[in-house]
Structure 1
Amino acid sequence: MSDGSNPDPLLRIADALERLSPAPEKQKDIHSGTAFHWDGAAAHAIDNFMPLSLDLLTGIDDQKARLLENSERLANGHAAHDVLLWGSRGMGKSALIKSVVGVLSHRGHNLAIVEAAADQLKSLPELFALLSQTDRPFILFVDDIGFDENNAAPRLLRSLLEGGAAQRPANVRLYVTSNRRHIVPRQMAEQDDPVNPRDVLDDKLALSDRFGVRLGFHAASQDDYLAMIEKYAQVHGLAFDPADALLWSKQRGSRSGRIAWQYVVELCGRAGKKLD
């Protein structure tokens, strides 16, 4: 028997182990909040979810309209598509998804977004099991998917989208972004293969075919790039020289929404202003 000055060694060991391995964080209530992050085991609220205003996204009007329409269908409990947003880097694919959620949330819809990293695909059945416990509509956002050779991810994603035992529940739609139109690489060797080359390409295209809506984002034209900067400049009370803005993009080798925003940050810095 031990006294208060000499506690049981087993109790001391148990206390030490508990401090080293604290109880797992309690699962966040998925019925409240607008944005969550899935870490492979639990959904965590994103408390500072502040998407860009939809009006600030310039040069992608058709993409904005189509994604907003599809997302509003989901928010209303109507039939909606999984969406693939593909194309040039920095053209607002990820920002558009978040902005659409922000717009619909502001309109009073109960829609929420759950972000999951591309390397968490294997854990998505567990997430689907969690989200299926409610009728609340969710957008599952998987950003910047790219597949290398011998990667199992395409088969996993195809199973989740259609036909697999762990396919996504009816209240969840996948919004996936990729810098490649068909997600998986199409090598010239496949087209030169004399043994059923069309079958090989069809297998590659099968994944993108699982998405009911596919939105392309192309490199910005000079006019679109300057229009993006003009819109940002108006909001932040900045003046700019188009020639200087074009030189900025030339030095970076591309024109995109991301490059336009970086130029606006530069303008604010030059003017001694702070971006809100």
Structure 2
Amino acid sequence: MTLPGDQTDVLLRIAEALERLSPPSVPTTDWLGHPAYVWTGTAARPVARLDAPALPMLRGIDSQKERVVTNVERLAAGHAAHDMLLWGSRGMGKSALIRAAIRAADAAHPGGIALVQVAQEALHGVTDLFAELGKADRSFLVFIDDLGFEEGDGAGPRILRSWLEGGVEARPANVRLAVTSNRRAIVGRSMSEQDDPINTRDIVDEKLALADRFGLSIGFHNCDQDAYLAIIGGYATDLGLAWEQSDALEWSRRRGARSGRVAWQYVNELAGRAGKAI
């Protein structure tokens, strides 16, 4: 039956309105084509090149580096591997080590592993991410950087526990988690808890129980003066840069800290003074 022209126009306008109301289709992610991705909570953005230092450039964390690199290499090879919690002092290379380990594992097992970085505000969508990654013929390290739950946030830690402990929303077999945090317990302690002589131990034990669900819990500790100078010396030797101990110490005093990050910033300053690119 042929409709009059005015009725046809009405139907076309209705169809166009419905199309505008419907959510846009989410583009399909090629989970095999890139070394890294950023998960927004609803979709993934591919990263064509993973920005990571070469492993020898990470100084002063040899023990931590060996454990992380070995675990990531196992995951890339399709072997049993642990979820990892890297906790402790700022600026000691926790997130840089994760990226560097992925880069090294991908070089050893081309296409075997990818990094998927998830911001804390996108944690609500990680279950959907797991559903996608579980279908891909590849290993993935889901990376949550600088994680910390506020006091009174019970939902966040419970979700994290469910991912780690085999709940209905647990990560699939080809996926492991890597989390960095400034606190081993991830959840901070309030002053009232610290001052309570009755329940302090129970509260601390409950919070550390979340950290204990990671197969590897690796501490990164403050950098003392000798370690700070040794890190600078290693970098400077490799790069052919002249330096003086007193100048390096003055740099750290002006920054108000000693860490691997501050050491690298000083080396970058040395290279700039010498007119070199690094």
TM-score grouping bracket, smaller chain normalisation:
0.7 to 0.9
| 1:121 counterpart letter in structure 2 | L
Q: CA deviation at 1:258?
A: 0.9
From the superposition, tell whether residues 113 and 249 of structure 1 become closer, same or farther in structure 2 (CA, over 3 Å): same
User: In the aligned structure 2, how far is the partner of 1:194 from the partner of 1:221?
Assistant: 33
Note if 1:261 corresponds to 2:264. Answer: yes
State the 1:121 CA deviation: 1.4
**Residues 221/193 of structure 1: CA separation in 2 closer, same or farther (3 Å cut):** closer
Q: Which whole-Å CA distance do the structure 1 matches of 2:12 and 2:122 have between them? A: 38
Worse overlay, 162-171 or 52-61: 162-171
**Correspondence 1:74-223 to 2 at 5 A:** 74-109=75-110, 110-151=112-153, 152-193=155-196, 196-223=199-226
Identity of aligned residues (%): 55
Secondary structure of 1:149's partner?
Answer: coil
**Contact 2:76/2:109 (<8 A) preserved:** no
**Offset of residue 194 of structure 1:** 5.3
| Counterparts of 1:236 and 1:28, CA distance in 2 | 40
Q: Cα RMSD over matched residues?
A: 2.6
Contact 1:145 1:176 in 2 (8 A): yes
Distance change (3 Å), C-alpha of 1:224 and 1:27: farther
Mapped partners of 2:140, 2:147: distance in 1 = 19
Residue 5 (structure 1) aligns with: none
For these two proteins, the number of residue pairs brought into alignment is: 270
- Which deviates more from structure 2 when the two are superposed, residues 196-205 or residues 102-111? 196-205
Distance 1:23 1:225, change over 3 A: same
- Please show how residues 216-231 of structure 1 align to structure 2 within 5 Å: 216-231=219-234
Task: Using the TM superposition, give the Cα deviation of residue 175 of structure 1 relative to its aligned residue in structure 2, in angstroms.
Answer: 0.5
How far did residue 169 of structure 1 move? 0.8
What do residues 157-206 of structure 1 show as CA deviations (whole Å, max 9, x unaligned)? 11211142201111111000001121111234224435544332222112
Contact 1:121 1:156 in 2 (8 A): no
| Inter-partner Cα distance in structure 1 for 2:94 and 2:272 | 26
Structure 1 residues 193 and 44: alpha-carbon distance in aligned structure 2, compared to 1, 3 A threshold = same
Contact 1:86 1:181 in 2 (8 A): yes
Name the CA distance, whole Å, in 1 between partners of 2:46 and 2:16: 30
User: Distance between the aligned counterparts of 1:114 and 1:121, measured in 2?
Assistant: 12
* Whole-angstrom CA distance in 1 between matches of 2:107 and 2:166: 35
- In structure 1, the gaps of 5 or more residues are 3-7
C-alpha separation in 2, matches of 1:189 and 1:102: 44
SS in structure 2 at match of 1:205 = helix
Deviations 1:47-80 (A, max 9, x none): 1313100011111111111111111221222221
* Structure-1 separation of matches of 2:263 and 2:14: 58
| Secondary structure of the corresponding residue to residue 239 of structure 1 | coil
Normalising by the residue count of structure 1, what TM-score does the alignment of the two structures yield? Answer: 0.88
Could you tell me which runs of 5 or more consecutive residues in structure 2 were left unpaired when the two chains were aligned.
none
Which has the larger displacement, 87-96 or 105-114?
Answer: 105-114
Indicate conservation of the 8 Å contact 1:121/1:157, yes or no. Answer: no
